[in-house]
Each structure stands twice: as structure tokens, then as C-alpha cells.
Amino acid sequence: MDSRDSRVAGGTDAVTVKNVTVLETGTCDIETPSAPCAIVVIGACGDLARRKLLRALYRLFRNGGLPADFFIVGADLPDKTSREYRDLIKESLRELGGEDVLQKDWSNFASQIHYCTIDTETASPYAPVADFLSDTFKKQDMPGNRLFYLAVPPSRYADIVGDLGKASLAPEDNGFGGWSRVVIEKPFGHDLATAQQLNKSIQKFFREDQIFRIDHYLAKETVQNILMFRFANAIFEPVWNRRYIDHVQIMAAETLGVEHRGVYYEHAGVLRDMFQNHMLQLLAMIAMEPPSIFEADRVRDERIKVFRSLRPFPVDRLDDHLVLGQYAAGNGPKGEVPAYRDEPEVDNDSLTPTFAMVKVFVDNWRWHGVPFYLCSGKRMAEKTSEITIQFKEVPHLMFRKVLPETIRPNLLSIRVQPNERITMTFQAKSPGAKICLQPVRMNFHYASIHEGDLLDAYETVILDCLLGDHTLFVRQEGVELCWSFLSPILEACETCDNRRQALHLYRAGTWGPSRVEELMNRDGRSWHAARSQ
């Protein structure tokens, strides 16, 4: 039972919720988009659309996150009626959330869902979508605002954007009026050259300000809070630099394997799948300088400055800065699981890494000499994404005559998922006559101050797309800088003579190859994930 003690302190209400005191200065409700619009989901019958996007749209609808006037158009290759498509979405929602999620508001939401069949054999496959949009805008007396979400494999992005252009759906100065926006998921290309080519293909029809490149990690509540934590609190920013911080660890661990994505993963591997986007974006949020004002372009400018400051990777000394691994057979969340090489559609002699730790440096005034250890892997001990900032040891051990052990440094941990929280670890005296230290933790859990469900990442990014807010989205310059940093690593890893020896196997259900701890120990540090989760 939550205890809620309301009182007045300097004109601000203070509320204690689950032992966390929150000063209430106002509400923080959803900012509802006011502009009527059409939301076109391309690849509408696929797994991403059914299990993520339509669920996110339905939750936004129930929570007041969609404009008063909107409609949804599913566009895909299967020949379906709108009624059949609604039934498909209804069944997917029932599987995800049970019958109760459909009891309220479903009929009102379903009435706004329509479906258009795409025929790729025709000269203009999206002409039926254009005709439907035009008719509906006129019938409902709506401006022609439209959002295109490409829930399709990345290999289809360029062709689909070209087809949208042929149907005059991309430009904003056509007969529709209103705005036109396109949303694409990562990965943004396979390397620097393909990323640049993809951008050229898209920008033939859409301007940069019309393009929303999603990295859903940036939309996670705890990641967004990093900037507030740093720049809205005077006690943290003064120590957020090389003088006080020893190193930073950023980890994104999954318990799942490649599942049904064997073909994609063989082509990508963990470095392309996670590091070019998620991991470097998390690094940028931790390392960026304060923007002059909190608005999209200024925030993205500061993230890009971090990418420009990345020290070129020493490909001639890979062993000192990189650990690659691949999961062997072991234990998963539901029992024994096969090795990566035994997964469907994976080469039985594959050298594709499913785990990587990369040590990088940001060469600027704030961070010079501070290593950032970025780590991500599949089939690991727990599903967790966490950022750990380790501060330097105390400069003078004044307790050396009464304490036999060294004093552990302070840690600040930011849990991105699951169970979002921020934890500060510091030293305190143990109760008793003898002087003994023990590490204690001060925890802040998001769930303790929020009643109800938080917006998930997809709900947040869809809402921002409708609002036209680019803060959480990736600019093309940032994409190219990340590929420029990562490409030498990929080339060195994929062309080296000892590629097989450089790939360290680790048992599924563990924290990765032992080689990681060897690298950390050689640096005089330890990997917190393996000992503190």
C-alpha cells in the first residue's frame, strides 16, 4: 500500500510514495497532437506492425495520445479486406494483453483502421493508398497530414520510398496539402557506403526534416531522464568529467538468441545490430555537453559532437580494445537452448559474433583518458540494459590504520530496462563498536512515483512523430559518423587472419566470454555486470 503524505514546503507539494519523496510541481500528461492525420503502416501484416505498432497506437488512443481526428491505413501485399485486417489486429492484441484490453474503446479504435492491398507488379504500387487517402481526406474534411511508418526489412526502404514518390505521397506541395513524414527503423545501411546511398534514395523524395530515423533506445524513459538527471541537478554535473570518473560501462544484454532472424543476423552480427545505433547513442547521452536550450536540433548537435570526438579505433591492437564472442549451447529462460551455429538459417561453421565488448575513448576536454566499455550480447544471464559510472577511488586512505581492505569506489547505475531505476552506491559505517565499512545503495525506481503504465518506446516515438519532434531521432550526419567510427573495426574483424581464434565461445545463460574479465583486469578494473546483477 502506498503511503501518501501531502504537505506544503515552500509552496510546493511534497508526496511520499513507496519511501520516495516526490515534490509535485504540476502534472505531466501526454501532449496530445492537435493536427488531424492519417497514419499509414507499410508492412501492416508483419510481426513488427501487429505486435508493436498497432498495439502502441491502440494504447495511445486509449490514453489520449492520438489527435481527435485520425485514421490508420494498413498497406501490405496480402489481399485482405479492412474487416479481415481489423480481425487480425484484434487477435494480435488479444494474444499480447488478454481479452480485457479489448473491452474498452476497441470498437471506436477499430472503426478507424482500414487496409489497402499493394500490388508490386504495377507501375505505381501505392496508387491505391493515394486514392484512399485523397477520398478520405475529402470525405472527412481533413488536411492532408500523413505519417508513413516503414515496418518492413531495411532492404525494401529505398524501393518503397521511391514508390511513395511515384504516387505523389511524399512531397508536401502536392494536392494533399499538410505535412508528410516517413519513419524508418534501424539499421540505417550495412556500412557507411550503403547508409549514404540509402539517404540519397530517401532524400530524392523526402527532406531531412520529414525523415524520422528511429532508435527506440533513445525513447526509453530512463534514457530520456539522463539529460534531466545531469543538467537539472547541480550536484551531478560538476563531477561528470575525467577528474572524478574513472570509467563508464554500458551494457545491453539479452537472454534470447537470434530466434527467427538467422538470415538477418548472419548478415549483420552484433556490431552492426547494436553498436552502430543503440550503444553509441547511449554513449552520446552520457558524454554529451549541455545544449544551449532543450530543443531537438540543439540536443542532436551535442550528440553529434560526441561522435566527432571518438578516438579512431586502434585496429592494430584489437586484443586491447575488443572482445568478440558467440554463444554455445546452454541455458535460456525456459531451459536448454542450442548454440548459435545450430539455430535455424545459421551456417553451422559461422564466425558471426553474437557478443562484443568495445573499449572506446572520447577525446575532448571533459572525457580525455576515460574509457567507455560498450558491451552487448545475446543469450546472456539476464535481460538488462544498464549504464554504470564508476568514480575514482578516494585520493587519500585516511582510514588505512583501522580498515584492512581498500575502499570500493562509488558507483552510479542507470537501469534502462527492465525495472527502470537509478542506483547510487556509496560507503557507510557498519553498525557496531568496530570501524567497518560496507557499501550501501540508494535507489530510485520509476515505478515508485508513477501510477499506471509508462509509455513504452514505440508509443513515445509515434507520439513524437505526430508532434514533429526530432529530439529522440537520429540525424543523417550522426548515422554517417557512427558508421565512420565502426567501419574500420568491422573491416579488421572480418578480414583478419585469426578470425576464428578471435571469436570466443561462451555458454548460453552466462555473462559472456571470460576474455572480457581478462581485458578489464588488465586495465586494473572489473566488469560490474558479472558480479552485481
How far is Cα 400 from Cα 251, in angstroms, rounded to an integer? Answer: 34
Q: In the annotation, is 528 catalytic?
A: no
Cβ atoms of 212 and 465 within 8 Å: the answer is: yes
The answer to whether 32 and 64 have CB atoms below 8 angstroms apart is yes
Q: Cβ neighbours of residue 45 under 8 Å, at least 6 residues apart?
A: 74, 76, 77, 78, 80, 85, 88
Q: List helix spans (H) across 379-475.
A: 457-467
Strands (E), 154-208: 180-185
Nearest-angstrom CA–CA distance, 263 and 285: 32
DSSP code, position 370: -
- Identify whether the C-beta of residue 325 lies closer than 8 Å to the C-beta of residue 355: yes
CA 249 – CA 357 distance, rounded (Å): 10
CA distance 355 to 377: 4
Q: Burial of 316 by CB count in 10 Å (0-12 exposed, 13-18 middle, 19+ buried)?
A: exposed
All three cell numbers of 73: 491505413
Residue 121 CB-density burial (10 A; 0-12 exposed, 13-18 middle, 19+ buried): exposed
Q: How many degrees, rounded to 5, is the angle at CA 285 between CA 516 and CA 526?
A: 20
What is the identity of the amino acid at 128?
Answer: P
Cα atoms in the Cβ-side hemisphere of radius 13 Å centred on 362 = 27
Catalytic residue selected from 190, 216, 247, 278: 278
Active-site residues, by number, are: 278
